[in-house]
Structure 1
């Protein structure tokens, strides 16, 4: 059934915006899109706060890193555009970075190959999803992705991708959500009730012993997957490559100067 989305949100005391800037959500989609625009943006309050919308942008991203006294900002831009529907649920505390990539929708997330960080789970979960976790956080993945969580993912989000990063659990569709369709809302609200409630319980009970003495309940190594260019390792290797090119250019230039000087003599 077709609905008036503005009226639908107002009846529930939610905020609706026809267009909006992208929310402050890191990760596989929002962290990998440039010039992104969100449409049909709904922010819902209640016992489980969440937001829903559609996002479209150019695949790429910007990341700034500090290397000693040098601050480096790098931007990756491609000609590819990416469109996604998303549902993001706020968690009571941060969890390590996990990506659950659904096989049913192919390779729809705009992130580089993360196969070295793949974690295998029990049962038939691996036939439905590929789970990625930061190096050293494989046991944390097994703790958080319990059999009941895996069953919920298979039953409720089998054709969607799921990401946990910071204090957010975000579900992505490789297609824009038809948020003027009541059946779409029925499914999204069921995901919030079932998977959202379970994720909140898991977050409240999770503890990372490696985070002792840090400003977060997750240690730095667990806060972000290695995502190529957009990861710390990716930036480091890009910086190394730039330095190598600069050094090589200087060597060639100096050699050319001395060569010309020798010929002149």
Structure 2
């Protein structure tokens, strides 16, 4: 993700991201976070598993050393092997400790950065209650390094991950996201960024039938594939006027975009909550630019929710015009999902290979 250089006169305070830190304060911050996390049995279970693995590993190691000891100069060979094992264990331990210290320092810096810029910081949220598509798939879902503005409209920056299990295999998916609160509920619309798709299709965890695909004018289709609920094509054209399309191309072409309920989501790879001031400058500029245009959307009303107004007792005005309340009718609240194209292609390829194997076996 490319970012512009940091400009003077920033509208936020980046100093907590780069100033020297007191390691004692970092450790105290880590201990404070530990007290705020819910207690789980995961750490105890992991410790038991590691101890069991170590105990089982001692058996073949003991047999190996016994065999080596009977060789000529066996004592030297055994000592050499022990030195190598100790060196590898020490190297792994040092790297793990460095990684742990670095992660703790990052969390400390992000917490101080949030405090200095009218935001709150949460290091971990289990099963975040957000309506975006990436928050409702897989298992073991949690968000990390979440920074949330304290003023309205609320903007949230963070990372999210989940596990998808297929048989005995599990795949970990990690995302970076920005959630921007909108002034009104809107139809469910997805902008699937063309730049991060593969030859097999979308990188998103959900796929949508082509009958919900809407082609827009200009170069917009070169950057995004837009999906909207059937019957809401005219509403999507109203929401994505030429000036708003240009703003999304300029500012959000690297993101997948989802509008659901009253939230605008931007999805990308992990790397949203960082200690890089230039990255935050770019993210804040992007969010502000999109919010300025998204404010126009508060005027949108779903004509399917029209309600007759109470009659006005006046000869000159026998009836009042219908009232259009805020909100979205049932048909527009969620897109209909289809089979994931990547999974579909994988199934086709596996099936083709199976058929090919049968043909080879026959002939």
Question: TM-score w.r.t. structure 2 length?
Answer: 0.55
**Match among 109, 115, 132 for residue 210 of structure 2:** 115
Question: Which secondary structure state, in structure 1, belongs to the residue aligned with residue 132 of structure 2?
Answer: coil
**Match among 199, 203, 206 for residue 294 of structure 2:** 199
Question: Which secondary structure state, in structure 2, belongs to the residue aligned with residue 217 of structure 1?
Answer: coil
Superposed CA offset, 1:57-111 (max 9, x none): 0248xxxxxxxxxxxxxxxxx8433211000000111000000010111122100
Query: 2:47 — aligned with what?
Result: none
Conserved? CA contact 2:208–2:339, under 8 Å: no
Is residue 58 of structure 1 aligned with residue 163 of structure 2? yes
Query: 1:165 — aligned with what?
Result: 260
Query: 2:248 — aligned with what?
Result: 153
**Match among 152, 155, 173 for residue 82 of structure 1:** 173
Q: Distance between the aligned counterparts of 2:209 and 2:170, measured in 1?
A: 21
Question: TM-score w.r.t. structure 1 length?
Answer: 0.74
**Higher helix share goes to which structure?**
2
Question: Which secondary structure state, in structure 2, belongs to the residue aligned with residue 104 of structure 1?
Answer: coil
How far apart are residue 216 of structure 1 and its match?
6.1
**After the TM superposition, which parts of structure 1 deviate over 6 Å for at least 4 consecutive aligned residues?**
none
Q: Distance between the aligned counterparts of 2:196 and 2:290, measured in 1?
A: 20
Is residue 209 of structure 1 aligned with residue 303 of structure 2? yes
Conserved? CA contact 1:55–1:84, under 8 Å: yes
Question: Which secondary structure state, in structure 1, belongs to the residue aligned with residue 133 of structure 2?
Answer: coil
Conserved? CA contact 1:100–1:131, under 8 Å: yes
Mapping of 1:30-49 within 5 angstroms? 30-49=135-154
**What is the number of residues matched between the two proteins?**
213
Conserved? CA contact 2:260–2:333, under 8 Å: yes
How far apart are residue 44 of structure 1 and its match?
0.7
Query: 1:23 — aligned with what?
Result: 128
Superposed CA offset, 1:20-52 (max 9, x none): 224322132112243211111011123532001
Q: Structure 1's 122 and 92: CA in aligned 2 closer, same or farther, altered over 3 A?
A: same
5+ residue gaps, structure 1, are: 61-77, 231-265
Query: 1:261 — aligned with what?
Result: none
Query: 2:238 — aligned with what?
Result: 143
Q: Distance between the aligned counterparts of 2:176 and 2:331, measured in 1?
A: 29
**Match among 179, 185, 188 for residue 274 of structure 2:** 179
RMSD (CA atoms): 2.5
**Match among 183, 191, 205 for residue 92 of structure 1:** 183
Segment of structure 1 superposing worse, 14-23 or 159-168 = 14-23
Segment of structure 1 superposing worse, 184-193 or 215-224 = 215-224
How far apart are residue 145 of structure 1 and its match?
0.5
Superposed CA offset, 1:195-222 (max 9, x none): 02211321x1000011236996100000
Q: Structure 1's 87 and 208: CA in aligned 2 closer, same or farther, altered over 3 A?
A: same
Conserved? CA contact 2:208–2:336, under 8 Å: no
Conserved? CA contact 2:146–2:273, under 8 Å: no
Conserved? CA contact 2:302–2:326, under 8 Å: no
Conserved? CA contact 2:177–2:267, under 8 Å: yes
Conserved? CA contact 1:33–1:57, under 8 Å: yes
Q: Structure 1's 124 and 157: CA in aligned 2 closer, same or farther, altered over 3 A?
A: same
Q: Distance between the aligned counterparts of 2:192 and 2:339, measured in 1?
A: 19
